[in-house]
Amino acid sequence: MRAARLHAVGDLRVADEPEPAAGEFPGAGLSLVRVTAVGICGSDLHWFDEGAIGDAKLTHPLVLGHEGAGVIAGGPRRGERVAIDPAIPDETCRACRDGYRNLCYHVKFSGHGDTDGMLREVMAWPSHLLHPLPDGVSDTDGAVLEPLGVAIHSVDLGHLPLAGTASVIGCGPIGLLMIQLLKVAGARSVLAVEPLAHRREAAERMGADQVCEPSASLGEADVDVAFEAAGNDEGVALALASVRPGGRVVLAGIPGADVISFGASLARRKGLTIAMVRRMNEVYPRAISLAERKAVDLASVVTSRSGLGEITDAFGAAARRTGLKAVIEPQR
């Protein structure tokens, strides 16, 4: 099989490798999956551009990719199309026992640390983490279910009031999915803030009621909940500026330097509640239901598809933010 491994910053190599063995995750009932679609995520770009994400550093050549779909290659579920949940919690730690598997102390996560990800033709993965895809949900849609899941978890943490108002700061794929979800959830108004013109246009198409550049004054916005999906201090400051006193701010962006800074006086004067997003928690069934019912348009955030042989160019384009979601199709 072919696999794409990151050897160093910007050094992504495609090579032939043996297919994975059943002992990759001891004790887990595994299925072999022929991977058909993998989204390039902002966290993958951190690995590609910096050789790190947060406090995790690249220590060996790593197969990236955690937004994926494929077809089960053997066993009783052979031929079944599935979305691949990228997180393998240990199920024993305090976080797991309390129902926060996304906060598992010892989680194995696809394309992170010591766990090879989905940018390969075949992978072995725990069978219970392979979610059947309905006929009306494409493989590409199946890959976008993971960022949709992060957006769902973010909206859950926001506790949007019925017919409340919201802002979304940063309109990459997750921010655009948040806009769609907020409208589905009954928001009467969504403000989108984004520096790139093509992403502001996308935010309008996704249903944002107001769209502006970061340079615009947000002092009178006074939304109930602000969602930050930019991954930088400017985005956090804009989120704080846009929300009403007593409101909530949900931080979903991942900063490159693993530091978030904001003015404490504004947050204190407004008495804000700040929630941090860590991936997602048990949301795949809801994400699949939304996609199957066409309540959200997953295809609308996908702007390019490439094979493994074009992966370096695809990562370069994604890093330049020239489109929205780039998808790799390993079987191409």
CATH topology of domain 149-276: Rossmann fold (3.40.50)
Domain residue extents for the chain: 2-145+281-328, 149-276
If pLDDT is split at 50, 70 and 90, which confidence band does 24 have?
low
Model pLDDT for residues 192-205, shown as the tens digit of each residue: 999 999 999 999 99
Among the four given CATH numbers 3.40.50.720, 3.30.1280.10, 3.90.180.10, 3.60.20.10, the one describing domain 2-145+281-328: 3.90.180.10
Tell which residue, 326, 286, 267, 265, has the closest CA to residue 251: 267
Q: Do domains 2-145+281-328 and 149-276 have the same CATH topology?
A: no
Q: Is the pLDDT of residue 26 over 60?
A: no
Model pLDDT for residues 90-103, shown as the tens digit of each residue: 999 999 999 999 99
Q: How far apart are CA 108 and CA 111, in angstroms?
A: 9
Q: Which of 56-60, 208-212, 272-276 bottoms out in mean pLDDT, i.e. has the lowest?
A: 56-60
What is the model's pLDDT at position 54? 79
Q: Taking CA 41 as the corner, what is the angle to CA 119 and CA 143, rounded to the nearest 5 degrees?
A: 65
Q: Roughly how many angstroms between the first and final C-alpha of the chain, as a whole number?
A: 12
